Amino acid sequence: MALDLAAAALAAQAAADAARREILPRFRHVAVETKQDGSPVTEADREAEQAIRRVLRDHDPSIGILGEEFGAEGGQDGLRWVVDPIDGTIGFSRGIPLFSTLIALLEDGEPRLGLIDLPALDERTVGWQGGGVTRNGSPVRVSQQDDPRKAMVAHGDGYAFDHFGARPALERLVAEFPMFRGYTDAFGHALVLHGAVDAMIDLGLNPWDAAATQVLVPEAGGRCVTIDRSDEGRGLGLVFGSPSLVERLVDFL
């Protein structure tokens, strides 16, 4: 049976709705804990992921799930949901409303559907292969800017350039792009998808940070290049946005 991506997108949106119901009442009203790896986590992260899992299981219990907070259930082959209940927990824990919920559907490891939800801003970007990309129901497209002097380029966490072994790339970005901005986490990814930011470099990512963007950007007319250094303990790097800018930025790395 062919994969019904439109139906899967409805399930992903229902799961994002369930996550919002757990996240928003706790925003600016929740304690922060520290995980063993040193990263922050809150009750909202855990409850939102559990809510997402319940909805996705109800949609199709045969599809595996990988989530940031509760790991993997089901096999890695075939279909698999990849979930980050709150991308940008640091900002969320500080009362900054630029956090997101990320949901992607992979088939044999290839992202086929992606969703980036910004609950506090009431903005949701969703799309799938062959289905286009929309923000709150309206089609969006990635910028086609090709002039570095006019381009706004964003980056993720600054420390990730050192972690990824890419400090020279950061120095070139500062020197060559007058409008170089730090719109970190998937908030920056969403800005690229509707053309507000022309391109972005985001380094040191986990699979749940990257999967939605990997399918959404090309479906919205852009280019997304993945650099995998996870076998070195450096994670994934994404370079995405306007195709001509991405070609230039990949050379930086």
Say what the pLDDT of residue 152 is. 97
pTM over 0.85: yes
Q: With the CA atoms of 86, 221, 14 and 27 taken in that order, what torsion angle do they form, in degrees rounded to the nearest 10?
A: 30
Torsion sign (Cα): 85, 83, 161, 40 = positive
Strand partners for 105: 81, 113
Mean local confidence (pLDDT), 166-184:
92
- What is the enclosing helix (H) or strand (E) of 19? helix 5-23
Confidence of residue 248 (pLDDT cuts 50, 70, 90): very high
Q: What is the DSSP letter of 64?
A: E
Q: Rounded to the nearest 10 degrees, what angle do helices 43-59 and 5-23 cross at?
A: 150
Residue 13 gets the label, from left (phi > 0), alpha (psi -120 to 50) or beta, of alpha
**194-228: pLDDT as tens digits:** 999 999 999 999 999 999 999 999 999 999 999 99
Say what the pLDDT of residue 173 is. 93
Q: Pairing state of beta strands 236-241 and 40-42?
A: unpaired
**28-84: pLDDT as tens digits:** 998 988 888 878 889 999 999 999 999 999 999 999 999 999 999 987 779 999 999
Mean local confidence (pLDDT), 165-185:
92
**What backbone phi and psi angles, to 5 degrees, belong to 81?**
-80, 140
Mean local confidence (pLDDT), 5-32:
96
Q: Pairing state of beta strands 64-67 and 79-87?
A: parallel
Domains of the chain: 5-139 (3.30.540.10), 152-252 (3.40.190.80)
- Tokens (6 digits) for 10: 């409805």
